Every structure is written in structure tokens, then in C-alpha cells.
Amino acid sequence: MVAVLSDLAPLDVFDADYLYFYETFQTAAVNEVETELVARLLDLEGTHDVLDACCGAGRIANRLAARGHRVTGIDSNPLFCRLGRSEAAAAAVTVDYRCEDIRHLADEASFDVVLSWFSSFGYWDDRTNVDILRRFRRALRPGGQLLLDLPNPALLMRQLGPGGEAVRRVRRAGEHDLMEDHIGVDLESSELQVSRRIVRNGADRTVHLACRLYTPSELSARLKRTRFGLTAILGDDGHALHADSTRQLLLATAI
């Protein structure tokens, strides 16, 4: 395992192969269910200004726009922004896709909601992560809401085998295409480390991803420091977080 938490966003992981393998479980139906959960947790009645921070190819942003919200999607990956735009056009919805680095977000009091969905936070050192929360706070109007969706560290730790590693495989095209994750946690730095083997189109390559794992109380402390009031800590089903929740969802209000 290599530790790669640094200044550099792990952009090599987020590419066409990522979308290819992830669409096996992020199907249109799943994306719709997740969008419904987002809307329910944020109580999104009427029309709101929503920032989808690190929106990927727009699977949630476009669906929120279809529900009548004014959505801005920021992602640093040009391919994902392009795909988001073309899916928006096909669905006849409008999303303002901005191909930008979230670490430079400078919007002020422009949004009712900042959404950070599906592990889109924590890729940097703690100081940078906290700075991003501060930028989210600045981008929100007073009373605006932040929804963070991150892995549940309690579950992740339990999934590690005796060697301190978990292995996950996703196959497509029969046995031909493979995404194989070797997942570990550096306990000293609380860093989730993924070594990902991708076998596809005749190539066999390995990419690395690292992400700071935060417990709910660590996140809560950082949210307080950045002038958020924590409203709820939930599991992936939108009910109370528990040891088997795959995700932790933190809802906070700009104060």
C-alpha cells in the first residue's frame, strides 16, 4: 500500500473505467433512489439553489435539476463534466457544470444547499479538508444546509481481514473485465488506502486512491469549527447510523 494523501486529487482513479465499473451498481434506478433520499433529508420542497460539490458525471445533479432545482455541479474532471452536460441535454434539464477544483471554491452566500455525495470529501490532508468545509460554509446562505455522504469507518474496520486488508471485485463482460480493490486503513493517519487493479480493453493497470476516514465525532468537531450546526448523523438508509451502515450521512446547517 502506498499513502498518497497529498495536495494532488486522485484524478487517475476517476476516469472512463471508473464509470464503466461503477455503473454496475449506480444504475438509473439506484441514482433515482439516492436523489429521492437527498431530497427527503434536505426537505427540498419548491426550488432551491443547490451546489453538488464533486458531482461526477451528474447522476444526482441532473436528477435534482429535473425536480426543479437550480443546480450547479462542480467537478475537476473534464470528461465527467462533459458527460454530465450531455446527459442534462438529453433529459432537457439545465445544470451549470463547472469544471473546477473544489479546493478553490470561492462562491459566497450563493446556495441553499451544498451536497457532497458518495465519498466526495476527504481526499486531502486534514487542513485542506477543513478548508473545504469552510468554503462550503461561505458558499451557503445563512440557514443553508450541508449534506455529507461518507464511508462508515466502523463498518470498514470490521470488513478488514486478519491481514488488515479487504478485497472487493467487480466483474463485467463475463470474466473479461475486472476491477479489484485491495482496501486497507493506515491506523496512524486514519487514511483509507485503496490499491485498484483495472483489467479492461487489453490493459492491466493499478491505480491508487487515499482518503481520510473521519468518525462522526471528528466530523462533528470540524463542522463546529467551520460554523456549522450539526443537525443529524444518519446511516445510508436515512435512519440512525449503526455499525452495519455502509455510509454515514451528516446533515449540518450554516449558522
Ligand X SMILES: C[S@@+](CC[C@H](N)C(=O)[O-])C[C@H]1O[C@@H](n2cnc3c(N)ncnc32)[C@H](O)[C@@H]1O
From 185, 186, 187, 181, select the one nearest 199 (Cα to Cα): 181
Q: What are the residues whose beta carbons fall under 8 Å from the beta carbon of 181, sequence distance 6 or more?
A: 166, 167, 168, 169, 194, 195, 196, 197
Nearer to ligand X (CB atom), residue 31 or residue 221: 31
- 3-class secondary structure, 49: strand
Minimal distance in Å, beta carbon 38 to ligand X? 10
Q: Does 9 bind ligand X (CB under 6 A)?
A: yes
Q: Which amino acid is at 131?
A: D
Applying CB under 6 A, does 103 fall inside the site for ligand X? yes
Instruction: Report the residue from 59, 85, 135, 212 that binds ligand X according to the rule CB under 6 A.
Output: 59
Alpha helices in the chain (DSSP H): 16-22, 28-41, 61-66, 78-90, 126-139, 153-159, 216-225
Establish if 128 lies at the interface with ligand X (CB under 6 A): no
CB of 196 to ligand X, least distance (A): 12
The distance of closest approach from Cβ of residue 142 to ligand X in the complex, given in angstroms and rounded to an integer, is: 25
| Rounded Cα distance, 73 and 84, in Å | 9
Member of 111, 118, 136, 228 binding ligand X (CB under 6 A): 118
Is 36 a residue that touches ligand X (CB under 6 A)? no
54, 64, 114, 254: which one binds ligand X (CB under 6 A): 54
Nearest approach, Cβ of residue 2 and ligand X (Å): 18
